[in-house]
Amino acid sequence: TPVIVEGALSSTQCGALCDTIVAECGSSPIDLQRKRSAGTDIYPVTLEQGLNFLMSSKHGDSVFAFCEGLLQQHSDSEEALEIVRSVLRQRREHIFQTSNSQQNDQAMDDPDWFEYFPIGAKPSDCLILAGEGASSTLHRDPFEWTGTSICLEGSKIWRFAPPPRAKNLQEMSVEDTCIRYRHQSGVHEIDEVLNAYRLDSVAWDEDKDEDTDSFTLSAGWQSDFSFYDNRHKSVPTARELADIEYEQSETKKVEVINEIATDPHKLRPNTKEVANQLWSGVQKSGDLIVIPAYWWHQTYALEPSLAVASQRCGAARDASRVIDHILGTVGDTEGINIPSILTKTDGYQNENPQDVVDELFSYLAKVKQSLPK
């Protein structure tokens, strides 16, 4: 189930990370989405300009930006951004390790296997800007990974649609989740209700050659429905929320946001089939949220926010699922046998991650070479 880890970062840490990101990436180009009833327009702006535009955002005319790879692209400021990435990585990984491994980052008992992927295939952190009234797309994640998000500024409402048989997954052993995870979850029933469609995600080009086609490794699921289709007139604006915090307290502001998050009449979904099943939560600055595979989710901002989304692939619960997703995306291939290590049904806890990943991408390279040019 989704988990919110409160106070994963202190307010001081959040402020320092925001300052560094703006200082090092403020002049970098991003695509800013302006969403209105007539449709969505895309504006090329700098990160710093995008942050300024957040202040004028409102429901029905909101701004949002999904800046994938931005924190990885700046060789001139590599040292400063590596500190940012390191702090975020340490806070994420801390919650996935046992007490035996927390003392030594080099001896983690459940390392993130994405760290062993080739650079061109490795999912990257994503900086997310959201002004008042902005919502993400309604989706479930590519690779069927475990997702994470750390909020650095502001707050966000999260709503989740659980897979119909989520309880089955909780009661299953690690080995069983590796074997029957997707069918046991019943997530395909939600996919159908939400009229889901697939969007290609990570594309891998082994040779980094502009003359060769990239190779799609993953595809996520998206829906045009919304968990926040209608906003009641009683919902306070970002300015009104700021006044509540100033005149009363931050605690009172969070109470107001929590009440709105759990009230389907204040923020009304337009999909009746799942409206009564939604899980809701509020992520504040410094909070880390963990998003399990198969859970459809969507965020909404009542005030401007800045967050970093990431993902992980642990050996116990993720590796079998991620590998199966990649093989399923690639599809059947004639004459190329899938290595037995990639078809394990009992998990990968006892396998060397580098060895398995090498086998995976060796197989994928053969498949890519066999495709018609």
Specify the 3-state DSSP secondary structure of 185.
Answer: helix
Phi first, then psi, for residue 212 (nearest 5°) are -110, 150
CB 37 within 8 A of CB 19: no
For residues 224-251, give the mean pLDDT.
95
Predicted confidence (pLDDT) at residue 18 exceeds the cutoff of 60:
yes
Largest CA distance in the chain: 70
Give the Cα separation of 256 and 246 in Å (integer): 14
Give the Cα separation of 93 and 359 in Å (integer): 25
- Spell out the residues 6+ positions from residue 157 whose beta carbon is closer than 8 angstroms to its own: 228, 257, 260, 261, 267, 280, 281, 282, 283, 299, 300, 301, 302
- Spell out the residues 6+ positions from residue 228 whose beta carbon is closer than 8 angstroms to its own: 135, 157, 159, 267, 268, 269, 298, 300
DSSP 76: G
Give the Cα separation of 8 and 286 in Å (integer): 6
pLDDT band of 233, cuts 50, 70, 90: very high
Q: Please compute, for residue 92, the number of CA atoms within 13 A of its CA located in the half-sphere on the CB side.
A: 26
Quick one: CA dihedral 108, 171, 174, 188, positive or negative? negative
For residues 139-151, give the mean pLDDT.
93
Give the Cα separation of 249 and 236 in Å (integer): 15
**If residue 167 lies in a helix (H) or strand (E), which one and from where to where?**
helix 166-171
| pTM for the predicted model, two decimal places | 0.90
Give the Cα separation of 104 and 134 in Å (integer): 40
Predicted confidence (pLDDT) at residue 106 exceeds the cutoff of 50:
no
- Spell out the residues 6+ positions from residue 292 whose beta carbon is closer than 8 angstroms to its own: 1, 2, 146, 147
- Residues of the chain with pLDDT > 70, as a percent, come to 87
What per-residue confidence (pLDDT) applies to 21? 95
pLDDT tens string 122-138: 888 999 999 999 999 99
For residues 100-113, give the mean pLDDT.
61
Instruction: Supply 339's token pair.
Output: 């290595």
Give the Cα separation of 340 and 349 in Å (integer): 16
What per-residue confidence (pLDDT) applies to 137? 95
CB 288 within 8 A of CB 4: yes
Q: Smallest Cα–Cα separation from 219: which of 238, 195, 199, 191?
A: 199
